[in-house]
A and B are shown apart, each in its own frame.
Chain A
């Protein structure tokens, strides 16, 4: 238990990304960006992070909101998980993401925590990562040297680490428009029904042919079972160009269980997590098919 107060810092409230980058430039290694704060403030109370300057992104309006366009949808990095949970377009077209935000933390945290913050914290169990990777999302990173857009798949490099450079800000997540004959889902295993980290998370996105029979494209991603959220191409290959039934889903799920690389910790053992990946992968594939065929 800890009842620690926060260490002292200077607080800055830029109103644009440029201003935020300038402030970070000025304060060098002693500065940190803060979004929702639900990870960073806890780390600071535990003295795992002791920045002298906090640069709040909360006042930058251009980083907020969910904007559909002809290519898909763009989600500002400062959009809260609760806003995504309430979003009609996410609830209709981007089901894996809707599934994920609904089972993250508690309403008290979802009203504060941001989607960009969840990705930048880069913990292996981050619930927003597997669904966004399965949906083929990209992230826009803005830094002193300009901006770059990368597939989320290439963003994570290890537990709590990503390709994000020191002064860069993740500003936007974009998800391509889903194919009309496609759907997806995200399943999360927890020790209780809410307010827990994922022991295992599995996201699936499938695209079928126009007859709604043969799988033309599959994206399967796993969370909490490797140093980063991972995509499992071996599982996807097992599904593509097949009419998926129980047996095919089971076969693919077995591969998922052997491809994951979880750790044993106090919440679950390695063997249990691998078995859970198999079970959840099969369920996720079957559930996705149900969502497509109605």
Chain B
């Protein structure tokens, strides 16, 4: 059964006519064309489909699109300011925390949510925060370095 739903993604309001059994990741990718969000395990284990809902990371393969109405959704496309990358994205590039790139959008969003909540995490806290984002390339060390690096940069650029 199709119905009109209203989604707020990266600050833009979209009205789309979708079947009620479509998950958020399917609507983001297939209907809105926001293919930055990846779909991998489709059962909430891998974290590739992570998006932020009201600032909190969720597995968008486990969210019905109809149930995401009324929430502020942030995907990886919504992070950069024009061509200026978000500090977390910049740190991922700088620390070579990206190889195949499939886990990267979810990893970056999870890291951003962590730093928004806790600007000064320990490496153990970073590892715990990203434990739901699987990366099969990097062995995680560069990713942890990048998140710690981003934390340092973001702290420095904060107004005192």
Q: Do A and B bind each other?
A: yes
Interface residues of A (CB under 8 A from B): 1-11, 36-38, 41-42, 45, 54, 56, 58, 82, 105-109, 111-112, 193-195
List 4 tightest A-B contacts by C-beta distance, closest first: A106-B132, A194-B131, A6-B21, A11-B20
Complex CA–CA separation, A195 to B56 (angstroms): 18
Among the stretches B45-53, B72-80, B92-100, the one at the interface with A is B45-53
Residue of B nearest to A41 (CB): B62
Contacts of B59 in A (CB 8 A): 38, 106, 108-109, 112
Complex CA–CA separation, A231 to B119 (angstroms): 41
Q: List 17 A-B contacts (CB under 8 A).
A: A4-B42, A5-B21, A5-B23, A9-B21, A10-B1, A36-B62, A37-B67, A38-B62, A56-B67, A106-B47, A106-B133, A107-B132, A108-B44, A108-B50, A108-B110, A109-B44, A194-B128
Interface residues of B (CB under 8 A from A): 1, 3, 19-23, 26, 39, 41-45, 47, 50, 53, 56-59, 62-64, 66-67, 110, 113, 128-129, 131-133
Task: Give chain B's interface secondary structure class.
Answer: mixed
Contacts of B56 in A (CB 8 A): 82, 107, 111
Residue of B nearest to A37 (CB): B62
Contacts of A45 in B (CB 8 A): 42-43
Q: Choose one: B45, B62, B113, B129; the contact of A112 (CB below 8 Å).
A: B62
Contacts of B133 in A (CB 8 A): 106, 108
Contacts of A41 in B (CB 8 A): 23, 62, 64
Contacts of A82 in B (CB 8 A): 56
Residue of A nearest to B61 (CB): A41
Task: Give chain A's interface secondary structure class.
Answer: loop
- Distance from A145 Cβ to chain B, minimum over Cβ atoms (Å): 29
Complex CA–CA separation, A36 to B129 (angstroms): 20
Residue of A nearest to B60 (CB): A108
Residue of B nearest to A193 (CB): B131
Residue of A nearest to B70 (CB): A59
Q: Are A195 and B23 in contact (CB under 8 A)?
A: no
Complex CA–CA separation, A56 to B23 (angstroms): 15
Contacts of B67 in A (CB 8 A): 37, 56, 58
Contacts of B57 in A (CB 8 A): 107-108, 111
- Distance from A267 Cβ to chain B, minimum over Cβ atoms (Å): 15
Q: Are A194 and B132 in contact (CB under 8 A)?
A: yes
Q: Are B21 and A107 in contact (CB under 8 A)?
A: no
Complex CA–CA separation, A195 to B50 (angstroms): 15
Contacts of A194 in B (CB 8 A): 128, 131-132
- Distance from B68 Cβ to chain A, minimum over Cβ atoms (Å): 11
- Distance from A2 Cβ to chain B, minimum over Cβ atoms (Å): 7
- Distance from A188 Cβ to chain B, minimum over Cβ atoms (Å): 14
Q: Are B20 and A9 in contact (CB under 8 A)?
A: yes
Complex CA–CA separation, A9 to B3 (angstroms): 12
- Distance from A233 Cβ to chain B, minimum over Cβ atoms (Å): 35
Q: Are A42 and B62 in contact (CB under 8 A)?
A: yes
Q: A45-B43, A108-B110 are in contact. Are A195 and B21 (CB under 8 A)?
A: no
Residue of A nearest to B106 (CB): A108
- Distance from A83 Cβ to chain B, minimum over Cβ atoms (Å): 10
Contacts of B41 in A (CB 8 A): 1
Contacts of B110 in A (CB 8 A): 107-108
